[in-house]
Structure 1
Amino acid sequence: MSTPKRYHPLMMVLQLWSLIRGSFFFVILLFVIKAGSDSALVYYARWGLLIVIGISLLAIPLKWLFETYAYDKKAFYLNKGVLFRSEQTVAFSKIQNVNRHVSVIHRMFGLTALHFETAAAGEDASVKFEALTLQEAEKLEKMAVNKEEKEAVLEETEEGQVAEPELPSERTLHFRPTKKDTIKASFISLGFLFLIPLLFSVYSNISDIWNVDEEAKGIFSWIAQSPLTFTIVLIGLLIVSAVLGMVRTYLKYGAYELSSDKDRIYIQNGVIELQSFSILKERVQAVELKQSLIKRLFGMTEVELISIGQGVISEDSPDIKSLYPFLPTERAYELVSELLPGYQVEKKMNLLPLESLAIRMVQPSWIWIIATGALFWFKPAVFGIADSWIYVSIALLIAILVWRWLNFLHTGYLLRDNFVQFKKGFFESSIFYTKREKVIEVEVSQSRLQKLIGAASISTINRAKPIRVEDIRDIPFSVGEEFYRWYLGLRV
């Protein structure tokens, strides 16, 4: 085992920054907005907040002083706690994913955060290093994920230093967005509307502290009194919003890279704050291709890798297990096969029989029943029309039936060799693909209504956080039996 090490001192700065952000709202509320309050509740809340902040400030350097980490060729060993000491052991064999996150503060000091995710639950679910030098992070990552090179990395030189041999990694670059991709992504993600919620958020925060309603009314009146002024302001806001949306999308996806080697898939993201994610190909449990309605209209698809780890390194960082969310659909299908040999998502799938549509149409809708009951009770006169609530109820029922019909048209399944594939959803469409050896449980069930027409529902369960359950309803019962035999084929 290596000599126990303290974490980098920058960890204290990061924890201090986290404390400032976490307490900022309460400080403003209690010491600025409620500055003149004589309430006993506010008084004790102020002292309680100061005590919590004081204890936290004291705990930050003590944690850095007492908490250490060490490793050997099999596991990480972390000593935790100040008053109550504990040791966490995380075996390398349990590590599923590796995340890196480089914030602005990290970049200033040439450091990175490193997060190893495992299949375990509770305290042993992950190992997080909030601040490491790039060399140390590289060494720990190689030890944790490269089986062949662990012993070489841990070899000690004559001076007692840990050797860091060159470990070449021949990666293939699969995708890097162009400027055109970034512009399209900003519009498809509605990034050009970014300014509207931003203005409302700023206005809401300011109005909580100062009364600006009268000033706002005056500005709106001045803009509305002249059609020319209104048009100019509107065009200006749209231009600024579009520019801000593109900048925001660029900062989020401008430096995106998707690559792989023979063992792992690598995702890198971010311009100012860098984040990377890597996962062993063998640990991918399933893939999901997702399309919103607007993405489907523009021929875009998002591919998500489903694995046991969460894919995030902190509460503020996004989930990056999703591949670039605005991939051209054809390219998305190709990438699945490129990244995961043996995975081949098919475009043509088996559709549901018309009997399945009948089941979906006659099933009671609790949304319609509850809404109709409320309409009957209150009997609102919509647009001043007497008994118009009846037409509202009928319109809602028609909308629900149309929704079910559209979902029926966009539902499909495919069972072939050692994989199963489900498709469902209209406004939010998804294709779920998994291999038989990745499925830990299956279920075939029948409701009374399904028995009448010989239909069934099937479902799969895959390891993930949380457990991933996917199902397809109202397929022919014969397909359900075939699905059950297909799964048992791995066991017999």
Structure 2
Amino acid sequence: MFGYSVIYILLKWYTHKYKLAETSFYITKGIFLKTVQTIPFSKIQNINRRTSFLHKIFQVTSIRFETGMSSDDSTVEFKVITPVKADQIENYIKNQVASGKEEIIEIKPLTSSNVENDGHEGKHIHFRSTKKDILKASLTSFSFLLLIPLIISIYSNIDDIFHVEAQAKGVLSLILHSRWVLGLVIIILTILSFIFGIVKTSIQFGNYEISSDDNQIYIKKGYLEETIFTITKSRVQAVEIKQSLLKRILGLAEVRLISAGNTNIEDDKHEVNSLFPFLPVSRAYDIITEILPSYEITKQMKGLPKRSLCVRLLRPSWFWVVVTFALYYFKPIVFGFEQIWWVLSFILLIWIYTLRVFDFYHTQYTLNEQFIQLKKGSFHTSLFISKRNKIIEMQVKYSFFQKFFGLASFTTINRAKPVHHNEICDVPADIARMVYKWYQGRTNEIELV
């Protein structure tokens, strides 16, 4: 099996070839079944570069060109490539797209003679993380709380092999019977937790840099494992600003650039298209304006009328009905109370209506000649900004209760992976009609090629 694996890897490497033409990638691969793949440069939405710790040891990197297509072969990926060659491919594609060439004259392999090395002239840095930002990110993300589960997991694995449970019980008994030892252990664990959180956050968000030039945006992050996200400004479908409850209290926000290409890299918790997830709100607005001068963000937004709150409070919650029925059927005993099911049902009902009230006060909207701006959420809020010509579909819906109160809901749909839906519920019906009519003006801004 080892010999077979080695031979298979060598054959796969030998049969995997690529060429760059004037406007397209040409990928040839397959050992027994040969596949020729053609991907136009114009379909590339964003570029993800990842340099893991193992890549750094061998002085190589990986680069992935994401398209907006949905097929399995819609991505061009080089898992192991030299940084120089990756730069050459990226700059070559950038120059060919910028030149606007439409016809394939000759299929040429990539060489140093037909690739320009410098593709980052006029690059402007908008944000670079500091020690203060890393400390704030560590406290806000609660990464310091991960140390205790990590210790428990390590202990469990060690106990499975060496059976140290008896010794552990003796040490635990000694700690619990001595206040001084217990206090010292708590202090040490607290210090180690904060150190662990800072180190983990530094590895994940250290070396964070947001920059741009006239045409592209670059997001770089990571020490041991470095990722670089590159997207052309014209490919940005929308901007989304997210805030959790804690971030709203601290005045922080996370900005995401929505694009049609895939923005996930393996098991990375935060998508690569995310600007620094712990930016001050005012700085987040400034950075959006700097990297996307064509985008307009306004703080003056319209809220929902009071009748919208009435509709939300009158709308039945089927989730509450199902849970209440389950609680009544099973009648769980909690803390010795046998008839606590109705208390749990009442608490759930209060929680649901609390979320609806908060969502009502947070739901806001505004639109101008080219932009639409939508905000919604209860404890977690999101602010969505998009251009009219980037919205591929608009839906307007009316339910029975909404018709009675003169309300409606509308949904904007943008290209993304997966497709991005943003719905605003219970707006006045005339506003929904106005938004729909506003969207019809998109036909004057779209050029069919």
Find out whether 1:117 has 2:66 as its counterpart. yes
Q: 2:419 matched to which residue of 1?
A: 467
Deviation at 1:303, TM superposition (A): 0.1
Aligned match of 2:17 in 68, 81, 84?
68
**Kindly tell me: are residues 255 and 107 of structure 1, through their superposed partners in 2, closer, same or farther at Cα, counting changes over 3 Å?**
same
Q: 1:348 matched to which residue of 2?
A: 300
Counterpart contact for 1:142–1:150, Cα < 8 Å: no
Structure 1: tracts of 5 or more residues without a match: 1-50
Counterpart contact for 1:422–1:472, Cα < 8 Å: yes
Q: 1:96 matched to which residue of 2?
A: 45
Q: 1:105 matched to which residue of 2?
A: 54
* 1:417 counterpart SS class: coil
Deviation at 1:143, TM superposition (A): 1.3
Find out whether 1:179 has 2:131 as its counterpart. yes
**Kindly tell me: are residues 321 and 398 of structure 1, through their superposed partners in 2, closer, same or farther at Cα, counting changes over 3 Å?**
same
Counterpart contact for 1:73–1:143, Cα < 8 Å: no
Counterpart contact for 1:143–1:150, Cα < 8 Å: no
Give the % identical residues: 43
Deviation at 1:221, TM superposition (A): 2.2
Deviation string, structure 1 residues 354-380 (Cα, Å, up to 9, x no partner): 111111112122232122212222334
Aligned match of 2:170 in 198, 202, 218?
218
Q: 1:85 matched to which residue of 2?
A: 34
Counterpart contact for 1:288–1:433, Cα < 8 Å: yes
Q: 1:400 matched to which residue of 2?
A: 352
Q: 2:447 matched to which residue of 1?
A: none
Counterpart contact for 2:87–2:117, Cα < 8 Å: no
Structure 1 CA distance for aligned equivalents of residues 100 and 306 of structure 2: 58
Structure 1 CA distance for aligned equivalents of residues 417 and 75 of structure 2: 13
Q: 2:203 matched to which residue of 1?
A: 251
Deviation at 1:166, TM superposition (A): 4.7
Higher mean alpha-carbon deviation, 181-190 vs 54-63, is at 54-63
Deviation at 1:215, TM superposition (A): 3.6
What does 1:117-156 correspond to in 2, within 5 Å?
Answer: 117-146=66-95, 147-148=97-98
Structure 1 CA distance for aligned equivalents of residues 175 and 53 of structure 2: 40
Aligned match of 1:431 in 383, 396, 399?
383
Structure 2 CA distance for aligned equivalents of residues 99 and 87 of structure 1: 23
Counterpart contact for 1:73–1:150, Cα < 8 Å: no
Which of structure 1's runs of 4+ aligned residues deviate more than 4 A? 148-151, 207-210, 313-318
Structure 2 CA distance for aligned equivalents of residues 276 and 237 of structure 1: 35
Deviation at 1:320, TM superposition (A): 0.9
Deviation string, structure 1 residues 192-217 (Cα, Å, up to 9, x no partner): 21312211332343345454443433
Find out whether 1:333 has 2:293 as its counterpart. no
Q: Number of residue pairs matched?
A: 436
Structure 2 CA distance for aligned equivalents of residues 90 and 260 of structure 1: 26
Structure 1 CA distance for aligned equivalents of residues 93 and 191 of structure 2: 48
Considering Cα pairs closer than 8 Å and 6+ residues apart, tell me whether 1 or 2 has the greater RCO: 2
Q: 1:234 matched to which residue of 2?
A: 186
Normalised to the residue count of structure 1, the TM-score between the two structures is 0.84
Deviation at 1:67, TM superposition (A): 1.7
Amino acid at match of 2:349: L
Structure 2: tracts of 5 or more residues without a match: 445-449
Amino acid at match of 1:110: Q
Aligned match of 2:374 in 404, 414, 422?
422
Q: 2:118 matched to which residue of 1?
A: 167
Deviation at 1:272, TM superposition (A): 1.4
Q: 1:42 matched to which residue of 2?
A: none
